[in-house]
């Protein structure tokens, strides 16, 4: 009686071990990839956040650019401020491609923050051409970050 209980326990432990082993190895296989599957990406709240915020970046930067072209400093500043307000979230978010290079990702976000802030600084000084130059730099950082972290 005692023996058979022990055996049953051992079988249960062995099966549990196999499941644990399997889930650990699939987890590791995932982490080694440079890209995440869509489902896994959407399950990660920080990746979801990034995906959700990028359309706003796109719209706000298009409006910012067109306001700069028209020389409408008030509107330009409003859109630059909208982008700046989202940067803390950008820094906390995560790309799904090359997600292991999180440090580099944050570096891009920090540079982006600085260039958009300098658009605002130039606008405050009534320096429209300085603002345009700073905006061109910000656009280059959008592109650099996409080149490394977007598929």
Binding site for ligand HEC (CB under 6 A): 50-51, 54-55, 57-58, 61, 90, 95-96, 105, 108-109, 112, 138, 141-142, 145-146, 149-150
CB of 41: closest distance to ligand HEC in angstroms?
Answer: 7
Pick the closer one to ligand HEC by CB: 73 or 137.
Answer: 137
Phi/psi for 96 (5° steps) reads -95, -15
Q: Give least dist CB 110 to ligand HEC, A.
A: 9
Q: At its nearest, how many Å lie between ligand HEC and the CB of residue 26? A: 23
Of 50 and 123, the one with the shorter C-beta distance to ligand HEC is: 50
Per-residue burial over 108-120, b = 16 or more CB atoms within 10 Å of its CB, e = otherwise: bbebbbebbbbbb
CA distances from 91 to 28, 79, 84, 109 (A): 26, 19, 11, 6
The nearer residue to ligand HEC, 76 or 141, going by C-beta atoms, is 141
Task: Give least dist CB 59 to ligand HEC, A.
Answer: 8
Closer by beta carbon to ligand HEC, 77 or else 96: 96
What's the CA gap between 53 and 77, in Å, rounded? 19
Instruction: Mention every residue, 6+ apart, whose C-beta is less than 8 A from residue 105.
Output: 94, 95, 98, 99, 145, 148, 149
CB of 105 to ligand HEC, least distance (A): 6
Lookup: tokens for 7: 């055996």
Nearer Cβ to ligand HEC, position 73 or 146? 146
Q: What is the CA 23 to chain-centroid distance, rounded?
A: 27
């Amino acid at each position: 009686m005692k023996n058979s209980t022990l055996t049953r326990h051992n079988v249960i432990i062995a099966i549990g071990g196999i499941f644990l082993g399997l889930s650990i190895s699939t987890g590791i296989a995932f982490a080694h990839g440079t890209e995440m599957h869509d489902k896994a990406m959407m399950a990660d709240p920080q990746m979801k956040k990034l995906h959700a915020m990028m359309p706003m970046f796109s719209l706000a930067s298009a409006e910012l650019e067109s306001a700069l072209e028209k020389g409408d400093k008030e509107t330009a500043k409003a859109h630059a401020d909208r982008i700046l307000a989202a940067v803390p979230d950008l820094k906390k978010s995560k790309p799904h491609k090359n997600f292991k290079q999180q440090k580099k990702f944050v570096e891009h976000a920090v540079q982006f923050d600085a260039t958009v802030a300098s658009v605002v600084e130039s606008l405050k000084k009534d320096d429209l051409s300085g603002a345009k130059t700073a905006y061109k730099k910000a656009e280059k950082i959008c592109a650099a970050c996409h080149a490394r972290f977007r598929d």
